[in-house]
Amino acid sequence: MTDHAHVPLLQGSCFCQAVSYAVFARPILSAYCHCTGCQRLTSCPFIHTMHFDASAFTWTFPEPHESRLDFYDNILKPYKRRYRCKTCGVGVASHNSNTNRVSIWGATLDRNEDGKIVGWDIAKPTAHQFYGTRMLDVNDDLTKWEGYESNSDNLN
């Protein structure tokens, strides 16, 4: 379904807000990811990632999208195309052509006046994935997994 007449559940943008998006479904997966790919692609020790069916995702900035959006095809996973803003360089989403899912990163979600993420109850992570390659220990109540949640060895 590409006609989204209803209200988006989550919205976000790159840092300079030239590139923005909306999603119209709850995440299939929401986790803190400690994999070496996320670490190296974002220069961060770990990220908050969410997966959605591609039909639930839409860009919300004016066409033509190529004028503001650049992409990078992962040399290790060529089926994963990462989209980034041409102006500020921030990665805002990636598309997996094997699964037809889109990943977005929680830190790009819209904030309220206090800096809190709008829709956090929908977006918030339920686990730590690829925790075996973590750069730091996290002492929270979420489950820790060697790979994806419930699909790998539990490290708790």
Q: Catalog residues that contact Zn ion under the rule CB under 5 A.
A: 14, 16, 18, 33, 35, 38, 85, 87-88
Query: In the complex, what is the shortest distance from the CB of residue 17 to Zn ion, in angstroms, rounded to a whole number?
Result: 6
Query: In the complex, what is the shortest distance from the CB of residue 90 to Zn ion, in angstroms, rounded to a whole number?
Result: 6
Residues in CB range of 102: below 8 A, 6 or more apart = 23, 51, 52, 53, 54, 56, 57, 93, 94, 95, 96
26 vs 134 by CB, closer to Zn ion: 134
Query: In the complex, what is the shortest distance from the CB of residue 135 to Zn ion, in angstroms, rounded to a whole number?
Result: 12
| Distance between CA atoms of residues 29 and 16, nearest Å | 27
82 vs 117 by CB, closer to Zn ion: 82
| Distance between CA atoms of residues 92 and 83, nearest Å | 6
16 vs 28 by CB, closer to Zn ion: 16
From 134, 126, 105, 150, select the one nearest 36 (Cα to Cα).
134
Query: In the complex, what is the shortest distance from the CB of residue 1 to Zn ion, in angstroms, rounded to a whole number?
Result: 28
What token pair was written down for 152?
């790998």
1 vs 62 by CB, closer to Zn ion: 62
